[in-house]
C-alpha cells in the first residue's frame, strides 16, 4: 500500500486560528470544571475530614479550594461561550467567527428546527448543554462569596455531576447512530475527553493548593501525604481510561504505523502520544520514587521530611505533568481529519469481531498492568518502611 499522498488522498490544512483557540479553551474549561470537582470530592474533601486534620491547615486549604473552584466556574462559562460561537461559525451558514459571537446568532442557531429525519436539532442539544454549563458555573462562581464558602459541599458536590453532564451531553446524537462504529467512536471520544480532563484538572488543582505551603504548619505533611495517595488512584483510573479509549481512537485515525510520520495528522498524533507518555513517566516517578519516600518519612520523621517531600518535591514533578498536559491540549487543536484520510482518502474499515476481541484483550492487559503497577508501588513503600524499621532495631 502506498502511504504517500495520492490523487484520492485528502491534503492536510491547518485549522483556522479561532477554531484552534476556542477548542483549546473549551478543553481547559472542561478540565477546570471536571478535574477540580472530581478531585475535591474524591481527594481533598475526604482528607480534610479525617479526624485529627483540624485547625488552620484545613481552613487554609478549604479557602484555596473554594477560590480555585470559583475560578474554574468562570473559566468554564467563558470558554464554553467561545466554543459555542465556533460551532455557530462551523454550522455551514458561512458565518464569520466574529459575527458568531453575537448572542442573537447563537440563539438563532440553538432554536433552529431539526433537520428532516432527526429526532432533535443539534442546536437544541447545544441549548441543553449551555443551560447545564450556566448552572454548573453559577454553583462554582458562588464560592467567591465568603458566606457561600461555609457551604462548600452543598455547592461543589452538585457541580460535579453537572460538569460531567455538560461534557457527556455530546453523546446524544441528533439522529440515531447509523452504525455501531459511529456509536463506539462517540463513546470512546467522550471517555477520552472526560478522563483526560479529570487527570489534568486534578493535577492543576493540587499544584495550586500546594502553593499554600508557606501558610501551612509542619503537621500539614501528613494531610498532604494522604491527598497525594488518594489522587494516585484517581490518576491511575484516568490514565487507564485515556489509554484504552486512545487505542480505539488511534485505530480510527491511523491505518498503519508508517502513517505516524508520513502524514501531518499522524505526526501530530505522534507528538501527542509522546507528551502523554511523558505525563505517565512523571506519574511513575511519583509512584515509584516519591510515594515510597513519603511512606518512609511518615514512619521516621513526619514533621520535617513529609513537608519537604509533599509540598516541594511532589508538586515540582506534578507541574511537569501539567505542562505536558497543556502541550497535549495544544497538539489536539492542530488535528484536522485523520491520517487514514490524509494518506488514502478513506476512513477506518468497519469493526469486526476479531478487532473487538483484540481490543478487549489489549484493554484487559493494560488494566492488569496498571493494577500491578499500583501494587508494586505499595509493595515498594512497605519494603522501605520495613527495611528502615529493621535498621533502626539493629542500631538500637
pLDDT in tens, 47-80: 888 876 666 888 899 999 999 999 999 999 999 9
Position with higher pLDDT, 216 vs 131: 131
Are residues 206 and 71 located together in one domain of the fold? no
Q: What is the largest CA-CA distance in the chain?
A: 83
Residue 193 lies in a domain: yes
Separation between Cα atoms, residue 113 and residue 263, nearest integer Å:
39
Residue 157 lies in a domain: yes
Q: Which residues contact 325 (CB under 8 A, 6 or more apart)?
A: 31, 196, 199, 200, 203, 275, 279
Are residues 151 and 191 located together in one domain of the fold? no
Which of these ranges, 55-59, 116-120, 289-293, has the smallest mean pLDDT? Answer: 289-293
User: For the residues 134-154, what does the mean pLDDT come to?
Assistant: 94
Position with higher pLDDT, 229 vs 366: 229
User: For the residues 366-384, what does the mean pLDDT come to?
Assistant: 65
Rg (alpha carbons) of the chain, rounded to whole number? 23
Separation between Cα atoms, residue 114 and residue 119, nearest integer Å:
7
Q: Is the pLDDT of residue 108 over 80?
A: yes
Q: Supply the pLDDT for residue 173.
A: 87
Residue 4 lies in a domain: no
Residue 218 three-state SS: coil
Are residues 170 and 28 located together in one domain of the fold? yes
Q: Supply the pLDDT for residue 385.
A: 44
Domain final residue, candidates 142, 176, 210: 176
Q: Supply the pLDDT for residue 6.
A: 45
374 pLDDT tier (thresholds 50, 70, 90): low
Q: Is the pLDDT of residue 158 over 60?
A: yes
Are residues 146 and 191 located together in one domain of the fold? no
Are residues 252 and 339 located together in one domain of the fold? yes
Share of the chain above pLDDT 70, in %: 88
- Among 164-168, 308-312, 317-321, 344-348, the range with the most confident prediction by mean pLDDT is 164-168
Q: Supply the pLDDT for residue 390.
A: 46
Separation between Cα atoms, residue 349 and residue 195, nearest integer Å:
26
Q: In whole numbers, what is the pLDDT of the chain averaged over residues?
A: 85
Number of domains in the chain: 2
Separation between Cα atoms, residue 112 and residue 153, nearest integer Å:
38
5 pLDDT tier (thresholds 50, 70, 90): very low
Separation between Cα atoms, residue 34 and residue 237, nearest integer Å:
15
Residue 9 lies in a domain: no
Position with higher pLDDT, 15 vs 373: 15
Residue 27 lies in a domain: yes
Which of these ranges, 196-205, 275-284, 293-302, has the smallest mean pLDDT? Answer: 293-302
Position with higher pLDDT, 303 vs 42: 42
Separation between Cα atoms, residue 67 and residue 145, nearest integer Å:
9
Are residues 165 and 230 located together in one domain of the fold? no
Separation between Cα atoms, residue 274 and residue 258, nearest integer Å:
16
Domain final residue, candidates 176, 201, 216: 176
Are residues 269 and 160 located together in one domain of the fold? no
Share of the chain above pLDDT 90, in %: 48
The whole-model pTM stands at 0.89
Are residues 252 and 378 located together in one domain of the fold? yes
Are residues 312 and 290 located together in one domain of the fold? yes
Domain final residue, candidates 151, 176, 201: 176
Are residues 221 and 269 located together in one domain of the fold? yes
CA distances to 48, 89, 245, 292 from 374, rounded to whole Å, are 24, 46, 20, 12
124 pLDDT tier (thresholds 50, 70, 90): very high
Q: Supply the pLDDT for residue 7.
A: 41
Which of these ranges, 4-8, 174-178, 302-306, 373-377, has the smallest mean pLDDT? Answer: 4-8
Are residues 381 and 393 located together in one domain of the fold? yes
Confirm if 211 and 378 have CB atoms less than 8 A apart.
no
Residue 57 lies in a domain: yes
Which of these ranges, 62-71, 129-138, 224-233, has the smallest mean pLDDT? Answer: 224-233
Q: Supply the pLDDT for residue 383.
A: 60
Are residues 200 and 321 located together in one domain of the fold? yes
Separation between Cα atoms, residue 217 and residue 234, nearest integer Å:
26
Q: Supply the pLDDT for residue 346.
A: 83
Which of these ranges, 155-164, 186-195, 366-375, 382-391, has the smallest mean pLDDT? Answer: 382-391
Separation between Cα atoms, residue 299 and residue 227, nearest integer Å:
17
Q: Supply the pLDDT for residue 329.
A: 95
Phi-psi map region of 345: left, alpha, beta (phi>0 left; psi -120 to 50 alpha): left
Residue 300 lies in a domain: yes
- Which ranges in 90-179 belong to alpha helices (H)? 97-100, 103-110, 122-141, 146-149, 152-168
Domain of 90, in residue numbers: 14-176
Residue 116 lies in a domain: yes
Amino acid at each position: 500500500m502506498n502511504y504517500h499522498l495520492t490523487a484520492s488522498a485528502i491534503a492536510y490544512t491547518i485549522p483556522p486560528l479561532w477554531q484552534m483557540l476556542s477548542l483549546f479553551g473549551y478543553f481547559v474549561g472542561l478540565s477546570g470544571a471536571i478535574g477540580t470537582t472530581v478531585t475535591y470530592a474524591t481527594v481533598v474533601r475526604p482528607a480534610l475530614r479525617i479526624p485529627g486534620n483540624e485547625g488552620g491547615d484545613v481552613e487554609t486549604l478549604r479557602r484555596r479550594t473554594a477560590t480555585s473552584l470559583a475560578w474554574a466556574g468562570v473559566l468554564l462559562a467563558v470558554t464554553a461561550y467561545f466554543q459555542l460561537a465556533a460551532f455557530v461559525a462551523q454550522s455551514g451558514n458561512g458565518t464569520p467567527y466574529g459575527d458568531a459571537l453575537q448572542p442573537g446568532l447563537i440563539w438563532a442557531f440553538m432554536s433552529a428546527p431539526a433537520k428532516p429525519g432527526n429526532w432533535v436539532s443539534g442546536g437544541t442539544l447545544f441549548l441543553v448543554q449551555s443551560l447545564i454549563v450556566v448552572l454548573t458555573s453559577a454553583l462554582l462562581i458562588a464560592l467567591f462569596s465568603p458566606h457561600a464558602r461555609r457551604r462548600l459541599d452543598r455547592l461543589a458536590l452538585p457541580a460535579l455531576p453537572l460538569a460531567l453532564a455538560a461534557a457527556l451531553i455530546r453523546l446524544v446524537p441528533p439522529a440515531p447512530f447509523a452504525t455501531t462504529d459511529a456509536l463506539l467512536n462517540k463513546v470512546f471520544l467522550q471517555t477520552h475527553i472526560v478522563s483526560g480532563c479529570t487527570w489534568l484538572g486534578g493535577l492543576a488543582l493540587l499544584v495550586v493548593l500546594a502553593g499554600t505551603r508557606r501558610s501551612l504548619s509542619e503537621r500539614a505533611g501528613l494531610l498532604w501525604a494522604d491527598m497525594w495517595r488518594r489522587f494516585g488512584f484517581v490518576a491511575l483510573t484516568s490514565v487507564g481510561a485515556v489509554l484504552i479509549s486512545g487505542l480505539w481512537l488511534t485505530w480510527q485515525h491511523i491505518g498503519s504505523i508508517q502513517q505516524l510520520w508520513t502524514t501531518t495528522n499522524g505526526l501530530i498524533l505522534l507528538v501527542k502520544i509522546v507528551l502523554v507518555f511523558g505525563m505517565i513517566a512523571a506519574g511513575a516517578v511519583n509512584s515509584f520514587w516519591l510515594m515510597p519516600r513519603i511512606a518512609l518519612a511518615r514512619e521516621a520523621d513526619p514533621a520535617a521530611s513529609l513537608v519537604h517531600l509533599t509540598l516541594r518535591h511532589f508538586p515540582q514533578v506534578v507541574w511537569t505533568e501539567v505542562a505536558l498536559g497543556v502541550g497535549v491540549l495544544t497538539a489536539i487543536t492542530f488535528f484536522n481529519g485523520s491520517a487514514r484520510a490524509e494518506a488514502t482518502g478513506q476512513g477506518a474499515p468497519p469493526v469486526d469481531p476479531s478487532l473487538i476481541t483484540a481490543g478487549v484483550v489489549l484493554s484487559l492487559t493494560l488494566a492488569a498492568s496498571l493494577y500491578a503497577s499500583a501494587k508494586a508501588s505499595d509493595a515498594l513503600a512497605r519494603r522501605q518502611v520495613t527495611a528502615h524499621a529493621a535498621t533502626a532495631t539493629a542500631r538500637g
